[in-house]
Amino acid sequence: MNIDLEWRNFDVLVIGSGGAGTNAAETAAKAGASVLLVAKDPLSASDTKISEGIATVRASGSEDDTEEVLSENLKIAGSDLPVEEITSAFAKDSQTAYDKYRENGLRPEISSITKGPNSLPLPMGGHTRRRSVGHKNSGLAFGHANWNAIVKENKIEYLEDCWVIDLVTSEYDDNRRTVEGAIIYDAQKGKLLAICAPSVVMAAGGLSTLYFPKTDTMRGNTGDSYAIAARAGAELVDMEQTQFLPFCLTSPPSFEGLLGGEPVTASYLGVLRDKNKKVILDGVYLRTRAECSAAIMKAVEDGRGTPNGGAYLDMRANKRAPKSGTYFMKFLKNSLPSAYNNVRQAMNKKEAQCDELWEVRPSAHYMMGGIRVDANGKSIADKNSNNGVQGLYAAGQAMGGLFGANRLGSTSLTEGAVFGSRAGLAAALYSRNFNNKKINKDLFFKEAYKLDDLLGQKGTKHASQLKIQVQKECWNNLGPIRDKKRLKKTQKFISRCRKDLKKIQIRKNLLWNQSLIEYLELVNMIDTAELMTYAALERDGSVGGHVRADCKDISIFSKPYSTIVKVRKSHIEVSKIDRKRTELKKLVEFKFKEQKRFLEAKLLRLLPMRLKDAIIEKRYKKIMGSKEQAPPLEPGSIEAAVGDQRVS
């Protein structure tokens, strides 16, 4: 072998320095474990850092927001695919987990009424209560908190610019495996690391880069979490459930895919229109992201899409109302500052002022499925919760089972803290059983040899360019609208890609070898996409983030199930697992209330201007206190930044 391995031992290896990884590392270290945190991006640079920074904190907006209410809200919004044990854990820990970010420097606005974190004026789309807390500087405030958590003490070791290639596992009987550690490519130092650790917390984020540039996430979301876990033998759940954010930008090119707004942005009078300006969705501000995205894509499929393959978001009515109109613009700027900042830079003045329509198109944002875990992030399989990969834990976007068919806005930052902490603790406790574990070095060498073969591979193809082809394929055939024919096409495409892997040119050097990095990520993208096609074919009906043009919608009253995919020696296994349906009575009540709200929204929109203007003005006044005014110049805004300018 040409490569030297650098050997290190830890109790817990955490992969990822976003919200989930950071909380896992901090909690594991507090429990006394020796922890190594690695990330391929610089410390704390992650989806968490670039997010809108809105976090779900139970009961921040109303007293009647009990754990049951929140847990049920997630479960029903996810079409009963979420696992009750996991949604309950989320509801139970949301406040304490949020406080962990605060202990590391996150400072929200404090409500004069509750004396706690102040929630946004309106419930975010699909939430039945106001419970989303926004923050100055959006996700950056979370990025700093995570940075502080890792840097502040000497307890946690961290390495950046490190790509985890694969977990090292041992097989103990018939397909059942135990984690031994991981093989990691340290690009910064030009080294290969053999990290021996009895437990690993996978918190390496999502897969939205499969759809680049039609995504608003970090470039590193190449499906590493899922591909690495699946290759190690873990089961994945609900992998057909990609969340597309409905209102993303289509142009100019530098802004393509970035977030423009959320359903709530549309406020009381916003509607979606097709290219003929016909209304395709009403009461937009009350809808979930999945509903809005599906409405847009169905219109596109029908040939009624806008020039860039989307729809028009029309908020003119909000603006035109003589009295409430002034409140609306304030509302828009304050509720999602960084999304609105994108709009101001990318669109023309009239559009940015909502006097003209916004052309919007869904963008990949989040994978709701993921590694199948229990409420403590432990990998589980089959019917027996002890049959997962021993020593493997997952948290954050990497895990599945919390959101099912739809993730409500603002829940993911909280998810990272809740399940990061739970997984970190569980991993630390598990590792206590393995003091002085004997290391089977051969298992590590076996993984490392694979890399040895790759370095210097000759060929005519380039991984960075193949990635672009994969991205086009995924958008067209595994994207926001799917059917059997397209999914089969993607599978064929993937098997062709696999053949091409051997023709990819890879340089020999170890120091920051971009061709190797691109190759490793390409393989993860292909593996993940393939697993997704199996899940997407298995789910022969539309539900949530999975829209099948060739099948009927799956009714919320039918028997819910999740899809499971796993990699076996020579093939992929796919199956279904039943989920518990929410009591019929509650479902009917939920649906009834929802329909009532939609109807009320529609009626309000159709009222004469004078009447609705007065009603809406009152509502804005109620929801926006005097504190809601934007500061004249926000640091980080285009006005404040040097070298930045409007593009169109």
> Which parts of 176-215 interact with ligand FAD (CB under 6 A)?
203-205
Give the chain's length.
Answer: 648
- Using CB under 6 A as the binding rule, whether residue 51 contacts ligand FAD is answered as yes
**Contact set for another protein, span 110-129 (CB under 8 A):** 110, 115-117
Q: Residue 539 and residue 404: Cα distance in Å, rounded?
A: 13
Q: Which is nearer to another protein, 118 or 128 (CB)?
A: 118
Hey, what are 29's tokens? Answer: 């270290």
What is the closest distance, in whole angstroms, from the C-beta atom of residue 574 to another protein in the complex?
Answer: 33
Q: Which is nearer to ligand FAD, 267 or 397 (CB)?
A: 397
Half-sphere exposure of 173 (CA within 13 A, CB side): 1
Identified binder of ligand FAD from the candidate list 29, 33, 36, 54, rule CB under 6 A? 54
Q: Which is nearer to another protein, 160 or 382 (CB)?
A: 160
Element (H, E) at 362: strand 358-367
Hey, what are 65's tokens? Answer: 């927001």
Nearest of 236, 235, 233 to residue 171 by alpha carbon: 233
- Using CB under 8 A as the binding rule, whether residue 559 contacts another protein is answered as no
- Using CB under 6 A as the binding rule, whether residue 424 contacts ligand FAD is answered as no
Options 50-58, 273-281, 302-310, 471-479: segment touching ligand FAD (CB under 6 A): 50-58
Hey, what are 204's tokens? Answer: 């390496």
Q: Which is nearer to another protein, 345 or 528 (CB)?
A: 345
Phi, psi dihedrals of residue 177, rounded to the nearest 5°: -125, 155
- Using CB under 8 A as the binding rule, whether residue 143 contacts another protein is answered as yes
Q: Residue 558 and residue 35: Cα distance in Å, rounded?
A: 45
Handedness of CA 395, 363, 464, 522 (dihedral sign): positive
Identified binder of another protein from the candidate list 2, 170, 175, 254, rule CB under 8 A? 254
What is the closest distance, in whole angstroms, from the C-beta atom of residue 125 to ligand FAD in the complex?
Answer: 12
- Whole-angstrom CA distances from 446 to 166, 342, 428, 450 are 11, 47, 27, 7
Exposed / middle / buried, residue 18 (Cβ in 10 Å: 0-12, 13-18, 19+): buried
Options 55-63, 98-106, 314-322, 523-531: segment touching another protein (CB under 8 A): 98-106
- Find out whether 420 and 22 touch, Cβ atoms under 8 Å: yes
Element (H, E) at 185: strand 176-186
What is the closest distance, in whole angstroms, from the C-beta atom of residue 379 to another protein in the complex?
Answer: 28
- Whole-angstrom CA distances from 554 to 536, 544, 557 are 14, 9, 8
Identified binder of another protein from the candidate list 43, 371, 405, 451, rule CB under 8 A? 43
**Contact set for ligand FAD, span 427-456 (CB under 6 A):** none
Identified binder of ligand FAD from the candidate list 10, 11, 19, 235, rule CB under 6 A? 19
Options 267-275, 302-310, 405-413, 561-569: segment touching ligand FAD (CB under 6 A): 405-413
Exposed / middle / buried, residue 491 (Cβ in 10 Å: 0-12, 13-18, 19+): middle
Q: Which is nearer to another protein, 126 or 205 (CB)?
A: 205
What is the closest distance, in whole angstroms, from the C-beta atom of residue 84 to another protein in the complex?
Answer: 30
Q: Which is nearer to another protein, 145 or 402 (CB)?
A: 145
- Using CB under 6 A as the binding rule, whether residue 241 contacts ligand FAD is answered as no
Site residues (CB under 6 A) for ligand FAD? 15-21, 38-41, 46-48, 50-55, 162-164, 203-205, 216-218, 220, 224, 259, 366, 396-398, 410-413, 416
